[in-house]
Chains A and B, each alone.
Chain A
Amino acid sequence: MGISRRTALKAMAGATATSVATTLAPQESKAALVVPRPDALGMLYDSTRCIGCKACMVACNEANDLTPDTAASGGLWHMPVDLNEHAKNIIKLYRDTAKGEQSFVKRQCMHCLDPACVGACMLGALQKGDYGIVRYNPDLCIGCRYCEMGCPFNILKFEWSKAVPKMVKCELCRHRIAEGKGPACCEVCPVGAVIYGKRADLLAEAHRRIAERPDFYVQRVYGEHEVGGTQVLYLTHVDFEKLGLPAYGDDSVPERARSLQHTIYKGFIAPVALYGLLAAVMIRNRKSSGAAEEGES
């Protein structure tokens, strides 16, 4: 009987279906934890210490040569309403007057241990570089903005106002780290609400603070496990979700697509096999139909 056309169709559907099945399977089991590199650098932001002075925002723009966003302030001062092409770092206020609850929150790239943006980028313009810093290289960026579609924290921003745009994101002041300094925001904070150091040390410090005041802090360090872990960590006394830090699970974001792709395209065997099968069925069909149409196959 040889290869039947049914086999070919089955193979085509099967190529997707089996891989889907195999990727579903590991999800049932314990999510594989992403292990941070030992020299991973990060920041710890403690919202209970932040006074909302926004000195870090000004320092960030200065350190990164960003023009101020004066649209909302009538041209007077840097006042972005969210992270954007002029702001890699922002202080936002959460306030619930009914509950009498209030907190600032600092937002910037989380430097995920397994970043969705890095998984997205076609040519590796976004990469996890020295100290686990997620860095951006415009020379390999074609501006597709898939990284924006992927980042679970809405961090990446595009220079919409420019005809020759780039992506904008916090790179943990890697140019300053190379000079032996730390991120500008951590250096300038007058109350030490955001501090900089090795992720392992920051995590220990965070847990120390929680242990010290267990009924003050929320009993969780945001970023320890979320989306597989991030190098920027958060402490707060209000609900993390109120601060725009969603209750994501511990699974790394790019893992699902990655394992699917790897299953389907492992060694490129499946596509090549499918190609062979398609051609074989075509040849067989052409023979069996008696080469009714000469010329065109």
Chain B
Amino acid sequence: MSAHTHTQPQPIGGVIFTRPVIILAAFAGLAGALIVWRFAAGLGATTALNDGYPWGLWIAFDVVTGTALSCGGYAVALLVYILNKGKYHPLIRPALVTSAFGYSIAGLSVMIDIGRPWLAYKLPLFWHWNLNSVLLEVALCIITYTIVLWLELSPAFLERAKSSSVSALRRLGEIGLPIARKSLLWLTAFGMLLPTMHQSALGSLLLLSGPRLNPLWSTTLLPLLFLLSCIAMGFGAVVIEGSLSALFLRRKPETDMLAGLGSAMRPLLVLYLGIRLIDLAVRGQLGALFAFDLYSVMALLEMALLVVALVLLASDAQRRDLGNLFRAAMLLILAGALYRFDTFLVAFSPGAHWAYFPNVTEILITAGLVAGEIAGYIILIKLFPIVAGAPRRALAHS
């Protein structure tokens, strides 16, 4: 019976507003103030964005990289529900929480980035839809997926409501929980379809910039490469989140599962690297890959990071060494983030006299949003049944 309770998610409990949470919230508050300024003064006065580089840090990081990092929920769901690896089930809820936060932040960033957000309410007006627009697909998919993610988490909230002292909440939990659990399968399937669509579409976005995109990145396979790499990044994020929360919350790390994720990543990485190289070869760009100019160095770096990650994950013993696994996961994420930055900012060249580097405001807003996300995660797992496994202290007693 005790084994059972170990795998049931439970609220962590404890003080909510600890010092780290307060510091993180302060960062988020600063970002909030800057966001107000951005809307009052316009994008020109507050950002380094320009007509050569109309998309900058907020799109390349918050949206394109951020949602890929938030593919943990997607990646683990594929493993558990499609590859039928039930043992990873305890990883799902925490991964879903990070995904839900990550996607919500991405949505928020978009609203800050676009120039006329007050018209965004027109996006669902289907009679206006331009079905040729990849961005429309991305936007609609991301909006829907964010809602789906929070709905997938609804059992956690309803479970909590059920044990509430307020009778109305209790009733809500009692009525809502069976419904939520029944619909979970259909939601989860939807939650796997949507990232498949929009994570690949994030790559397709740049097909339109093809004439101004460096050939090392400009390929019709962009959607496939973006899809594969987002799954790898999702696994990486789950490993990092799992190790960090074990560390900070003083819990026993789920070494078995995390090591298992490590081995699940390997075929994915090999596939990605293989496709990337074959594509370059077919398009006759291998020479450019080894030209050792800025572009070639960046592309080689992306691939080298993955190769090192593969080496770090080579043997079972290496994968069970948490520090080593953590480093490999970091490399994966770095490689994926670099691939996205390269595609959206480095490979994209609007002409010699244009330059872009994010300014302090952009960076502080992004940092503040991430800080808010982490604070939200901490608060959520303290209040709601998200994380499974017994605290280390309890374990020592038994």
Contact = CB atoms under 8 A, between A and B. Distances in A.
* B: contact size bracket: 35 or more
B398 interface: no
A142 B52 contact: no
Contact of A152 (B49, B128, B188, B212): B212
Given A122-B130, A256-B220, A278-B192, A163 B39 contact: yes
Contacts of A281: 81-82
A278 B348 CA distance: 36
B200 A142 contact: no
Interface in A208-251: 227, 244, 246, 248
Contacts of B78: 9
B76 interface: no
Contact of B227 (A16, A120, A165, A254): A16
* A: contact size bracket: 35 or more
Nearest to B350: A154
A167 to B, nearest CB: 8
A261 B137 contact: yes
B134 interface: yes
B19 interface: no
A165 B115 contact: yes
B86 A292 contact: yes
Given A152-B212, A296-B89, A141 B51 contact: no
A145 B130 contact: no
A148 B208 CA distance: 10
Contact of B189 (A140, A145, A164, A279): A279
Interface in B277-329: none
B130 A274 contact: no
Contact of A123 (B117, B129, B223, B353): B129
12 contacts: A17-B224, A121-B133, A123-B123, A123-B125, A139-B119, A160-B49, A161-B44, A163-B39, A260-B220, A261-B131, A279-B189, A282-B82
Interface of A: 5, 8-9, 12-13, 15-17, 20, 23-24, 27, 82-84, 116, 118-124, 138-146, 148-150, 152, 154, 156-166, 227, 244, 246, 248, 253-254, 256-258, 260-261, 265, 271, 274-275, 278-279, 281-283, 285-286, 288-289, 292-293, 295-297
Interface of B: 39-45, 49-52, 54-55, 78, 81-84, 86, 89, 113-117, 119-120, 122-123, 125, 128-137, 139, 155, 181, 184-186, 188-190, 192-193, 196-197, 200, 204-212, 220-221, 223-224, 227, 348, 350-351, 353
Given A144-B115, A154-B52, A288-B84, 20 more contacts: A84-B51, A123-B129, A140-B122, A143-B119, A145-B54, A146-B205, A148-B54, A149-B205, A149-B206, A158-B54, A254-B208, A256-B210, A256-B220, A282-B185, A282-B189, A285-B82, A293-B89, A295-B181, A296-B181, A297-B184
